[in-house]
Amino acid sequence: MNAVFLALFGLLCFVLAYRFYSRYVAEGVFGIDPDRATPAHEKRDGIDYLPTHRHVLLGHHFTSIAGAAPILGPAIAVIWGWVPALLWVVLGTVFLGAVHDFGCLFVSTRNGGTSIADLTGRIVGPRARILFLLLVFFLAWVVIAVFAVVIGILFASYPATVLPVNFEIVVAVGIGLVITKLRARLLGPSLVALLLLWGMVWVGVEFTSDFRLPSLFGDGPQGQVKTWTLLLLAYSFVASVLPVWVLLQPRDYINSHQLFVGLGALYLALFLYHPPVVAPAFNASVAFTPEGGEVSWFPLLFVTIACGAISGFHGLVGSGTTAKQIDNERDTRPIGYGSMLGEGSLALMSVLCCTAGFASAQEWSVHYGSWKAAGGLQPKLAAFVDGGASFLVHGLSFPEDFSKAAIAVVVISFAATTLDTATRIQRFILQEIAGTYAFRPLQNRYLSSALAAFLPLILIFGTTGEGKPFWTELWPIFGASNQMLGGLSLLVLTFYLLRRGRNAWVVAVPCALLAAMTSFAMVLNLQSYLAKGSWLLVALTILLLALSVWVLLEGILRLRRLSGGEAEDPANAIE
């Protein structure tokens, strides 16, 4: 099978979905009204609420949701074959992920820019709101830890990326000042920034390929990764307390150009190179675990590929930061639905890199022969980086060192913007919890941001019962809890549409599917952690599962009350 045919199939599905299905969802189901004032105008404060041009905001939203997860998930899932991974990426993106992202962004925008957790309280009930906030808190805790570690691994593995990635911060602050203070046009500074950033990749390859950060935790790769993660969390704290125009918006905007160029270059190289897919279509006959046991694709496929098909974290981004910056309600369709299609395109490329980026079927089998062979975040990241680099080398005749550094910079840039946004969202969550229980100190922006940024150190530096760092076991928890949060967000959207007398099947069916698959997968993860004696991960999984089930029960009770003709509380009215 030629990889070009798979790429064309996926991209054509995304184009048709945006042209037809997204319009039906946005106009026929939710009812977009471009004449309504948005929270960005009604609550404008220059820090979190700020009307933003749709192109700038699309760049922020896309880069915030499209982190390393849509790369890592498919890079793991292709161990079951390219057919299951490809179908879940394409169909999941079109019918679940993009609908979920648009719905969360639209409903938040329509209701004052409130978070999906606050909307849960108004739509489902006050207990459900607190449970949802706690679920989001633990998910964001895991997300920040995972993405900090991913970036740390890439910095340690590809030192040439350090200079260009950190140079982005300087450029972003400069762009923010030029655009906001001098009212300059976006196009010129953005093109200059793009050229500078890609030029710095070349500089990094030529002059910093042997760079090693002085380690605070001993020599070796682990010491490097831990040192980088500590610095990254400190940076996240600073980024989360700054006004959005200083760093968040401009960095995401210029990153979006860099990432679009990088993703476009990968697809162009693929079409010119037209490599064969060397991975099997289905791979159900391999003894995957070190003990010889088999890990079934069902239901684990649906939580292994999380962000590349549907992600509850996206609802947090949409309702946590993006809804506060929407200039016009009609922008929710390209930003919400369209950005998820962009992430699906990234996940599709990850599938292709990890199935057609190997020189032969034998080479692929060496890497994906078992969970042990493909284990660890570094081999999964390397499969994408090396596979993508092979496309650039053979398709565009780029030098191999530059190609690997460029792909690694793209991955880090995706992950870094998600890390920034996740820390800011965690700050919002902590402040919401503090506001509920009148705990004034935690409502302080700096204290809540510090807790958001540095609490993940527990997961980064702690160890399991087998002596392995907790972060090595976090991906299954991240995937399962992320998907469960997506299912619960779809539940909230279902109740929203039912209360407004609209057809809810576009969100109700995905909600039922996702809740069933994720609950099953979380039980399997729990059994694995119990066998390994990873008690913190056992406790975290039980807590997440309990919170999820409780919210679902609250939803069922709410549905019964609605069916019984219960009158709506004016205090919880929704628009």
Query: For residues 437 and 156, which has the higher predicted lDDT (pLDDT)?
Result: 156
Q: Which of 174-183, 232-241, 326-335 has the lowest mean pLDDT?
A: 174-183
Query: For residues 64 and 568, which has the higher predicted lDDT (pLDDT)?
Result: 64
List of residues 6+ apart from 263 with CB closer than 8 A? 345, 346, 349, 410
Q: Which of 88-102, 140-154, 265-279, 344-358 has the lowest mean pLDDT?
A: 140-154
**CA 244, 453, 415: angle at the middle one, nearest 5?**
70
State the pLDDT at residue 410.
Answer: 85
pLDDT digits (tens, 9 = 90+) for 154-188: 898 889 898 988 888 888 888 777 777 666 666 67
pLDDT digits (tens, 9 = 90+) for 554-571: 777 777 776 666 555 554
Instruction: Tell me which residue range forms the domain holding 333.
Output: 3-572
List of residues 6+ apart from 528 with CB closer than 8 A? 476
Question: Which three-class secondary structure state does DSSP give residue 1?
Answer: coil
Q: What are phi and psi of 55, to 5 degrees?
A: -70, -40
Instruction: Say how far apart CA 313 and CA 346 lie, in whole Å.
Output: 17
Query: For residues 264 and 319, which has the higher predicted lDDT (pLDDT)?
Result: 264
Instruction: Say how far apart CA 9 and CA 90 lie, in whole Å.
Output: 9
> Would you say residue 373 has pLDDT above 70?
no
Instruction: Say how far apart CA 145 and CA 140 lie, in whole Å.
Output: 8
pLDDT digits (tens, 9 = 90+) for 380-434: 788 888 899 999 999 999 999 999 999 998 888 878 877 887 888 888 888 888 8
Question: Which three-class secondary structure state does DSSP give residue 209?
Answer: coil
End-to-end CA distance of the chain: 49
The CATH number of the domain where 135 resides is what? 1.20.1740.10
With bands split at pLDDT 50, 70 and 90, how would you rate the model's confidence at 290?
A: very low
> Would you say residue 465 has pLDDT above 70?
no
Cis status, amide bond into 299, omega within 30 of 0 = yes
Is residue 58 a contact partner of residue 338, using CB atoms and an 8 Å limit? Answer: yes
From the number of C-beta atoms within 10 Å of its C-beta (0-12, 13-18, 19+), residue 5 rates as exposed
**Overall number of domains in the chain:** 1
Q: Which of 114, 99, 141, 466 is nearest to 322 (CA)?
A: 114
For residue 249, CA distances in Å to 395, 450, 476 come to 33, 21, 31
